[in-house]
Structure formats: C-alpha cells, structure tokens
Amino acid sequence: MSPPEGRPAVVWIVNQYTGSPRHGMEYRHYYLARGLAARGHRVVIVSGSYSHLFTRQPDPDGRYAVEDIDGLQYCWVAAPRYERAISAGRVGNMVVFALRLTRLPTGMLPRPDAILVSSPSLFPIVPAARWARRWHARLAFEERDLWPLTLEELGGFSKRHPLVLAMQRCEDYGYRVADAVISVLPGAVGHMVGRGMPAEKFHYLPNGIDLRDAQAAGEPPAAVRAAVRPDAFTVGFVGTLGRANALETLVDAAALLRDEAVQVVVVGHGPERSGLLERAHGLGNVAFVGPVARAEVPAALRLFDACYVGYRHSSLYRFGVSPNKLYDYMAAGRPIVFAADAVNRPVDDAGCGRTVAPEDPAALAAAIRSLAACPPAERERLGANARAYVAAHHDYGVLARRLEGILLD
C-alpha cells in the first residue's frame, strides 16, 4: 500500500533477531532497512532484546524501548535469555517475544504502510496480520528457511511434535493472509504452493552484502595475518564454527594436502571449535584464529588465495541455499570452493571457483589443488567474476529496490 501523496512510506520489519553493527548478527534486515531509508522511506525494526548471535545485547528500559541506530528506529522487545541455540529456552524466547508483540504500545511508533515479518520465528505473523488489517497495510511474510520443515528434516522432529504443529499452523496462516511471500531460497516456491499459497504471491529475494562496507579499506587483523604462510596457497573460512558449515570436511581435506604447499585458516568461534581443534591436532597446515570484528572481515578475506563454503548432505537443499559468507567472499574478489548439493549453484553461475560434492574431503582437496595450480591471472579472473556477480545480484542497494517494489507497489 502506497502512502498518501507527499508522505514518506513507513515500513515495519519484524524479526526478533535483527541486529546492527553495534550489536552483531543478524544483518540482513539492517542493510535492507538502510537501503529503504536511502530511498526516502521511514523504517522501524522490531527486534528482541536477546539473541545468541549478538555480541552485545541491547538493554531496553522495561519491556519496550525505542532507539535510533544509523537513522533507523529500533523497537526492542524484552525477551528472556537462553543458553543454547537449539533448546527449550530458545523456544520460550520466541513465544515470549510473540506474546509481547500483542501488547506492543504501537502509539509510540509511526503508523505502517507495509509490514514485513521474517523467520526464523513464525509466531509474530499473528499479531502482524492484526496490525496490517487495522491500518490497511500491505503484509509480507518472509521465510528465509522453511519452518517447520527444517525441524523435521534436520532436527528429526516428528510431524506431530507440538512445536512442529504450532509452527505449521503459523506457516500456513502466513501463506494465506500475506499479500506477498518472500524467500531467500529460489526453489522454495514449490513447497509453498504445496501448502496452499497462490504462486503469484512468491518473491525470491536472496541474501546479500553492502558493497560500501565490504570494499572499505582497512588493515587486516594481526592474528589472521600471522596465520597466513607466505609460501603456501591459503584457503580461508570466516564465520560461525557450527555443525551446518561442515568444517570437518575442510580439516580432513587439509590432512590430505599436508605434504603440499597449502594452508587452511579458520576464523571464528562456535560450538564445533573444540572438536575441530582436536580433529586438526598434529596438522601443521591448519590454523585457527578467534573471531574478528565485522568491520575487519573484508581485509581479512583479502589475505586468502581462496575461500571455502561448505554444507552437509540434506534434502532441504533441494530448495536452494543463500549463505551470507558467500557474498562476503565474492565481494572480496576471492575464488571460492563451494561444497554443496543444492538446486542453485551460485559459484558456477558466477564463474568464480569450483563446486564439489558435500562432505567429500577428497573432492574438496582436488578442487583446492586445482585452484592452487591456476596461474595468478586466472585466479584474478575468477575473483573479478565474483565481484561483478555480487554487485549485479546481491548488493543490498539492489535488493532494497526490489523489496521496495514488493512492499509498496
């Protein structure tokens, strides 16, 4: 719904895990909001006061607090802490956030012309739909991953589990009441239509990167510089050391390459770190570096000769993938080794590296060996292809224009 003539549009983005450069991940909606604001719109981000991905937790005064961050209006909703990302405490965090949205003092916020509700939690679609009806606002429902299907196929939950049933009702409700349905997964439309969504509601809006930040000059972190051997072809990974990233495959590939001039540098922290350290014990060509500040990531990536993105085998990837780190790597102009079996093949589409089967150390080692054998000019060409592709398809300025069309046309 467009606003009255002469008034900037007001967009609410509801995602309880939206962060900022001040607080840490997640960044998708911060950058989309900045892109919308640059186009003259007023953006309100409704987020929760606790996320395991935040490096600095917000500290709202009471249950609701409003704060200006980089020209965006954040509305923090108090939600309880939890210990682990996959836990009953996390579910409680989601439920409390959604319940408190039903009593959100909306009078302290500008009236919305459009509302975007985004996963992973699906519960906020219920209060958001009420707001949309009240103010005749356009409603968009974004599922970045497919819930509760992810719980079933990756988590092993039964279709009859109470959490799955509750999420399924919210998912189907969202497809029914939303004016537009968005996914970062290009193949998600088949699943959504199978749940009753009219196909014309679907919009593909992938993850992306702010190229202004990614191309900012800066000195690389000293710890990363120290881990890079000047006499070796260096493959880097920067991100969360979690199970989904299949980093044990990278360590095992390094073991196969131990007698060659190849170095692997893993930058970050996460629950798999101790197991990976144990797995890499005795390997002189694997180095682990702690997390670096978001602003330091581009300079760190430019130290590497190539970068690694890995996934596990999963039928979920029949819908596609859209990993944020991939676009960081592309923006840095690095050749990429992409270990995944997904319906989309972004590295092949960009012509910027090698795509191999997931969880196959031998195939990964062969791909690394192939890139290491390339003449420097060929690796420069791959890196240039990566930069051109991400600028055309994944810059958040481009994506914000597309979101503007979805929400306000």
Q: Which two tokens stand for residue 253?
A: 């590939």
Summarize the confidence of residues 293-314 as an average pLDDT: 93
Does any domain span residue 270? yes
- pTM of the predicted structure, to 2 decimals: 0.90
pLDDT higher than 70, residue 282: yes
| pLDDT confidence of residue 13 | 98
Number of domains in the chain: 2
What percent of the chain has a predicted confidence (pLDDT) above 70? 98
**234 vs 285, 287, 385, CA distance in Å?**
9, 10, 20
The 3-state secondary structure of 177-230 reads: HCCEEEECCCCHHHHHHHCCCCHHHEEECCCCECHHHHCCCCCCCHHHHHHCCC
| 219 shares a domain with 187 | no
| 42 shares a domain with 63 | yes
Amino acid occupying residue 353: G
Q: What is the DSSP letter of 60?
A: -
| pLDDT confidence of residue 84 | 85
Q: Tens digit of pLDDT for each residue in 101-150?
A: 999 999 999 999 999 999 999 999 999 999 999 999 999 999 999 999 99
Tokens 């409680």 sit on residue: 92
pLDDT higher than 60, residue 10: yes
pLDDT higher than 80, residue 3: no
User: Could you tell me the residue range of the domain that residue 79 belongs to?
Assistant: 10-208+395-408
| 135 shares a domain with 232 | no
Contact 180, 406 (CB under 8 A): yes
| pLDDT confidence of residue 48 | 97
Return the CATH number at 358: 3.40.50.2000
Does any domain span residue 2? no
| pLDDT confidence of residue 182 | 98
Q: Where are the beta strands (DSSP E) in 70-214?
A: 72-77, 114-118, 138-142, 180-183, 202-204
Q: Which two tokens stand for residue 154?
A: 């990756």
Q: Which two tokens stand for residue 108?
A: 């302290």
Phi and psi angles of residue 27, each rounded to the nearest 5 degrees, phi first: -115, -15
Q: What is the distance of C-alpha 107 from the center of its chain?
A: 31
Summarize the confidence of residues 384-389 as an average pLDDT: 97
Contact 301, 329 (CB under 8 A): yes
